[in-house]
Amino acid sequence: MTNQEIYDFLKTLNCCNICCLRYLKARGDEYEQIERTFKDLGVVFKIESSGTIGSNIKKFKPNICSVCFDVFSNSFLDSVIDSISKSPEINKFQCDKVVTAISLPTLFYIRQLSIWLLLCEKFPSRISREKPPDVPIKEAIKLIMNPRICRALGKSYDTSSNLGVMINITLNHKSEQDEIEKMSQFICELKLEKTSKHRKRIVATRGLLEKCFTPTKVSLNEFQKYFNVLLEIPIEAIYLESISFAGPTVFLAGRYRKLSRNLPHSPWILDGQRVLEESIQEIIIENISEYFGTSNSNIIFSSSGREDVDVRCLGNGRPFVLEIPDSKVTNLSLRSAAQMEFNIEKSKKISVINLQMVNRDELIHIKSGEENKKKIYRALCVLGTPVTIEILKKLNMPNGFITQQKTPIRVLHRRPLHTRPKIVHSVQATISKDKKNILILDLTTQAGCYIKELVHGEFGRTHPSISSIINQPVDIIALDVIGIDLDWPKNIDNRQYL
Ligand SMILES: [Zn+2]
């Protein structure tokens, strides 16, 4: 059989030219120049009168394609593209790229199987019973519609950057519900899918239809008993049910310095009540969310470790990243970054540097930083007696030691009870100039080591500890994080652009 024979047969079923091309396996831009494509395929084709691509003649009486319900007609495609480009929503996004997601009624599966069964019967040697004979309708819609959407919006289609605006297009048909009901009955009665105790009734979902609706599972005779769709020309065309837009998820990284000894990392809520009004997370998010057009509650804050509410974090600060879904922008100018840093600093509780956009795959730095990295601390400690030379000698440990640390009591509510070995890379002690019983400890430890417990020992739960080494109680008055050895994100001096 020839392409012409298949074309002529499909025409008797009231297939539009584009659907015929799908069954002749046209690819890419072959749908744009149908005259040439048909010629290359050796097919003499009929110019359509229903307004399908390739024809501008419109006929009074509708002649709706029985396979695609005229989804490929110029008038329908134009109406969809019009709805997208005229939507006030699309103008909210400052993105150069778009992607589309198209949702189609399951009704198309009945049509597809109908044609497939008929083609198997008519052309058994050419048509496979296992592999669908057509280019999927969704794929063809994307091939035809995406370039038109891009032209109308003056944007390009995003294939790899994940920075495109997602345009969700939902198409539907008036008979969809009735047909789903029929399909569900059909699947049940033919026992195409076993019902279990939990699932008394089968609902014809897309996955199920893809699985059950093949000529190897259903015969033309069985199918015809339920669906009389083959000779019927539809009265109603497909319609556009909804269009919605979602911006890409972008990632904003930086380093924060915590200047306050009275600020939690994230909202601190105890028994349903807020303990402190602010948190690092909230101060940062409040100052950046407007720029990205995303509501505060949707933004996810993570950092490379965290410090306690009363601990400052100085030096180069702690790396953090914000995951910002449905962003309206994909770029951050140095000037805007500088402005955000400036506004955050006004809080006087934290400051932020190196603010910049990063890729999703860079988030691995934040996660790997938590366990493997070194952290540098300065602890201000008080002893019961004046600090002696012997004490300073004992605590001068350039090669450090390994301590065994039981999960501190204060974090037992969120961490399981274990004893973990933690590396203390080095300890250096100096005496305070003002008070003889005040000790300044500079500690470099493995990330994840609890410093307060390392100092006082927590009744032997951390051993050895600074207290056990000098054999007397040590109290920690104040603790600062001085450095986190993670070279990420890269250094940017945004302030010069302010
Ligand atoms: Zn069609």
Question: Domain map of the chain by residue range?
Answer: 3-246, 250-370, 385-472
Catalytic residue among 96, 308, 310, 442: 308
Residue 447: the pLDDT is 87
Cα atoms in the Cβ-side hemisphere of radius 13 Å centred on 196: 2
CATH, domain range 385-472 = 3.30.70.3190
Spatial CB neighbours of 168, under 8 Å, sequence gap ≥ 6: 100, 101, 103, 242, 243, 244, 245, 246
| Cα separation, 59 vs 49, whole angstroms | 6
- Judge residue 189's burial from the number of C-beta atoms within 10 Å of its C-beta, 0-12 exposed, 13-18 middle, 19 or more buried: exposed
* Share of the chain residues as helix, strand and coil, in percent rounded to the nearest 5: 35, 25, 40
Please give the distance, rounded to the nearest whole angstrom, from the Cα atom of residue 47 to the centre of ligand 1.
14
Task: Render pLDDT for 16-70 as a digit per residue (tens, 0 to 9).
Answer: 999 999 999 999 889 989 999 999 999 999 887 654 554 544 444 568 998 999 9
DSSP H or E segment with residue 290: helix 280-292
Nearest to 280 by CA among 323, 312, 252: 312
Residue 60: the pLDDT is 47
Please give the distance, rounded to the nearest whole angstrom, from the Cα atom of residue 52 to the centre of ligand 1.
9
Class of domain 250-370: alpha beta
| Cα separation, 69 vs 232, whole angstroms | 12
Degrees to nearest 5, angle at CA 15 with 12 and 18: 140
Please give the distance, rounded to the nearest whole angstrom, from the Cα atom of residue 67 to the centre of ligand 1.
5
| Cα separation, 214 vs 235, whole angstroms | 26
| Cα separation, 292 vs 295, whole angstroms | 9
Residue 198: the pLDDT is 57
Nearest to 3 by CA among 19, 18, 25: 25
Q: Which structure tokens are listed for 172?
A: 């539907």
Counts of helices then strands in the chain (DSSP H, E): 15, 16
| Cα separation, 414 vs 64, whole angstroms | 62
Please give the distance, rounded to the nearest whole angstrom, from the Cα atom of residue 35 to the centre of ligand 1.
16
Residue 229: the pLDDT is 56
Please give the distance, rounded to the nearest whole angstrom, from the Cα atom of residue 191 to the centre of ligand 1.
31
Residues of the chain with pLDDT under 50: 51, 54, 56-60
Please give the distance, rounded to the nearest whole angstrom, from the Cα atom of residue 177 to the centre of ligand 1.
21
CB 101 within 8 A of CB 167: yes
Please give the distance, rounded to the nearest whole angstrom, from the Cα atom of residue 64 to the centre of ligand 1.
8
Which DSSP string corresponds to 342-409?
HHHHTTSSEEEEEEEEE-GGGGHHHHHHHHH-EEEEEEEEEESS---HHHHHHT-BTT-EEEEEEPPG
Please give the distance, rounded to the nearest whole angstrom, from the Cα atom of residue 135 to the centre of ligand 1.
12
- Strand 239-246 to 165-172 pairing: antiparallel
DSSP 92: G
Please give the distance, rounded to the nearest whole angstrom, from the Cα atom of residue 18 to the centre of ligand 1.
6
Residue 224: the pLDDT is 84
Cα atoms in the Cβ-side hemisphere of radius 13 Å centred on 89: 16
| Domain 250-370 shares a fold with domain 385-472 | yes
| Cα separation, 466 vs 439, whole angstroms | 11
Residue 401: the pLDDT is 97
Please give the distance, rounded to the nearest whole angstrom, from the Cα atom of residue 231 to the centre of ligand 1.
14
Spatial CB neighbours of 401, under 8 Å, sequence gap ≥ 6: 424, 464
Residue 83: the pLDDT is 97
Task: Render pLDDT for 136-165 as a digit per residue (tens, 0 to 9).
Answer: 999 999 999 999 999 999 999 999 989 999
Please give the distance, rounded to the nearest whole angstrom, from the Cα atom of residue 153 to the centre of ligand 1.
26
Please give the distance, rounded to the nearest whole angstrom, from the Cα atom of residue 37 to the centre of ligand 1.
16
**158 classed as catalytic:** no
